């Protein structure tokens, strides 16, 4: 597949209903409140981090959490108006930050206008074919005079019928408006693993007809990512396999897990070598990575790996300060908090972490091999890991140590004797190849080295 702008991107992920302190539920009568304006003050922070792409979502009118859409054409009144969003995206673009929004096309909320018509008019509703599994010989679990399908047996989320031409026209018309009015650069497709494959093929054709560089990234948790990310469908998917290995390899003192994942995905003959997967340590649906790590110092080698592995790295808002947050069986709001930028700067669990992430971002953005290079595993032990990223013009060797003590590395390399390697992460240090081996006396505890050699 061709190289895309996302290969050179570092993403930031914001859940705006949470960050901007929106009410938990939409009353559908209040005047719009431009809470999205709060995000303008975050733009300098994003630039300091080296962010050049933002995943912002969901933003359209909904009942509660944003994934229960009520109107695809109107920004959620709890966040502002369409003009509020357009102004924000213009400001982001002026600062060199591309924007992708959530595309929630598998289901809608019960307040979606066509579903309300179905509730009111029953069998005579002209929208009865817009939804899956409508059956007027049974009642729904929520007391409606008909049965319908809910996503994952959640009947607050009404499944759309992807085979309805009217549904497709409605959704594609909304996307056209988003591109024309907001000038978005792409979409993250919610529950893409539940979407109809032909719908996604048609969606891809339509979106790329509007903008050949438009990016379609799908939320996929399990399965072969090539089923969704391929030339006919999506450009990328969420790398949940990599996500799991990022934290559990540290929590379990087992770098073999993430090493196996990266070799399978991106090594010689790797199944996703031609994909730029969306890599993340946490998001709005899973526990904050700081809550998943027993040793909070492991955040540092974790992000060193996230920024040097193949794919596009993403930071979830607030996690750059090491914030914790864990969901409960009935509440995911701890994952999606309201945050104050000033308060975070004054007091946070890991005040040095944002500066480290900014350094990693700068290294990645200025190092072609980390963005485009092949991946080769060099060495793996329970708490140490080494790999290379290579282009025809440059080699990078990454050394990771998550042990509580400093560790030496003595590894074989395919570089000429005397080759000088400069540590981009620790600029005062350099090393030389001797007899086909690279010996580094010390990689500091819970830290890394990013060694560069240019041909």
Mean pLDDT of all residues in 390-414: 96
Mean pLDDT of all residues in 407-413: 96
Q: Are residues 393 and 260 in the same domain?
A: no
Of 337, 369, 401, the residue that ends a domain is 369
Q: Are residues 338 and 418 in the same domain?
A: no
Q: Are residues 416 and 349 in the same domain?
A: no
Which CATH number fits the domain that encloses residue 427?
A: 2.60.40.1180
In sequence order, which residues have a C-beta less than 8 Å from that of residue 272 and are 6 or more positions away? 225, 226, 229, 265, 266
Of 348, 369, 390, the residue that ends a domain is 369
**Closest CA relative to residue 297, chosen from 385, 208, 405:** 405
Query: Chain-wide mean pLDDT for the chain?
Result: 97
Q: Are residues 342 and 384 in the same domain?
A: no
The beta strand positions in 221-373, using DSSP E, are 236-237, 278-280, 312-316
Q: Are residues 293 and 184 in the same domain?
A: yes
pLDDT above 70 as % of the chain: 99
4-29 pLDDT, tens digit per residue, is: 899 999 999 999 999 999 999 999 99
Helices 255-266, 240-251: axis angle to 10 degrees equals: 160
Are 168 and 162 contacting, i.e. CB atoms less than 8 angstroms apart?
Answer: yes
The beta strand positions in 94-161, using DSSP E, are 98-103, 107-109, 150-151, 154-159
Are 45 and 339 contacting, i.e. CB atoms less than 8 angstroms apart?
Answer: no
Q: Are residues 125 and 192 in the same domain?
A: yes
Q: Are residues 303 and 362 in the same domain?
A: yes
Are 383 and 255 contacting, i.e. CB atoms less than 8 angstroms apart?
Answer: yes
Cis peptide bond prior to 58, omega within 30° of 0: yes
pTM across the whole model:
0.97
Which CATH number fits the domain that encloses residue 51?
A: 3.20.20.80
Q: Are residues 271 and 173 in the same domain?
A: yes
For residue 1, what pLDDT is reported? 41
Q: In whole angstroms, what is the distance from residue 298 CA to residue 293 CA? A: 7
If residue 368 lies in a helix (H) or strand (E), which one and from where to where?
A: helix 368-372
164-216 pLDDT, tens digit per residue, is: 999 999 999 999 999 999 999 999 999 999 999 999 999 999 999 999 999 99
In a domain, 152, yes or no: no
Q: Are residues 357 and 382 in the same domain?
A: no
Q: Are residues 171 and 72 in the same domain?
A: yes
In a domain, 13, yes or no: yes
Q: Are residues 243 and 292 in the same domain?
A: yes
Domain count, the chain: 2
Of 369, 401, 419, the residue that ends a domain is 369
Q: In whole angstroms, what is the distance from residue 241 CA to residue 231 CA? A: 22
Are 61 and 79 contacting, i.e. CB atoms less than 8 angstroms apart?
Answer: no
Q: In whole angstroms, what is the distance from residue 145 CA to residue 266 CA? A: 51
Q: Are residues 378 and 357 in the same domain?
A: no
Domain holding 263, by residue range, is: 5-132+160-369
For residue 330, what pLDDT is reported? 85
Q: In the beta sheet, which residues pair with residue 217?
A: 188, 236
292-351 pLDDT, tens digit per residue, is: 999 999 999 999 999 999 999 999 999 999 999 999 988 899 999 999 999 999 999 999
């Amino acid at each position: 597949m061709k190289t895309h702008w996302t290969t050179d991107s570092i993403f930031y992920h914001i859940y705006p209903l949470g960050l901007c302190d929106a009410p938990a539920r939409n009353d559908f009568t209040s005047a719009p409140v431009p809470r999205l304006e709060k995000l303008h003050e975050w733009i300098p922070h994003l630039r300091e981090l080296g962010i050049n792409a933002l995943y912002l979502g969901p933003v359209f009118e909904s009942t509660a959490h944003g994934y229960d859409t009520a109107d695809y054409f109107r920004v959620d009144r709890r966040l502002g108006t369409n003009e509020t969003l357009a102004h924000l995206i213009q400001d982001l673009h002026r600062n060199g930050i591309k924007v992708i929004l959530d595309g929630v096309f598998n289901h809608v909320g019960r307040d979606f206008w066509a579903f309300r018509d179905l509730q009111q008019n029953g069998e005579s509703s002209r929208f009865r074919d817009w939804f899956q599994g409508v059956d007027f010989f049974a009642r729904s679990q929520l007391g409606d005079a008909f049965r319908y399908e809910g996503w994952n047996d959640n009947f607050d989320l009404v499944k759309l019928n992807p085979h309805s031409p009217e549904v497709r026209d409605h959704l594609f018309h909304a996307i056209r408006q988003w591109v024309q009015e907001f000038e978005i650069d792409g979409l993250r497709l919610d529950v893409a693993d539940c979407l109809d494959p032909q719908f996604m093929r048609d969606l891809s054709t339509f979106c790329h007809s509007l903008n050949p560089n438009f990016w379609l990234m799908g939320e996929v948790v399990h399965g072969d990512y090539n089923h969704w990310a391929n030339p006919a469908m999506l450009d990328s998917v969420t790398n949940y396999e990599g996500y799991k290995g990022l934290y559990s390899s540290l929590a379990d003192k087992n770098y073999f897990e993430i090493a196996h994942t990266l070799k399978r995905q991106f090594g010689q003959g790797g199944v996703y070598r031609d994909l730029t997967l969306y890599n993340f340590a946490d998001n709005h649906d899973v526990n904050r990575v700081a809550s998943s790590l027993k040793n909070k110092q492991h955040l540092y080698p974790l992000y060193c790996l996230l920024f040097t592995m193949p794919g596009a790295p993403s930071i979830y808002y607030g996690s750059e300060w090491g914030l914790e947050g864990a969901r409960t069986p009935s509440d995911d709001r701890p994952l999606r908090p309201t945050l104050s930028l000033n308060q975070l700067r004054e007091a946070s669990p890991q005040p040095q972490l944002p500066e480290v992430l900014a350094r990693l971002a700068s290294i990645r953005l200025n190092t072609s091999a980390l963005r485009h290079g092949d991946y080769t595993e060099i060495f793996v032990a329970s708490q140490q890991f080494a790999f290379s990223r290579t282009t025809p013009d440059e080699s990078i060797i990454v050394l990771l140590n998550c042990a509580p003590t400093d560790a030496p590395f003595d590894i074989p390399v395919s570089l000429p004797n005397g080759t000088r390697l400069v540590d981009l992460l620790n600029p005062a240090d350099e090393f030389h190849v001797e007899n086909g081996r690279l010996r580094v006396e010390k990689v500091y505890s819970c830290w890394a080295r990013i060694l560069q050699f240019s041909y």
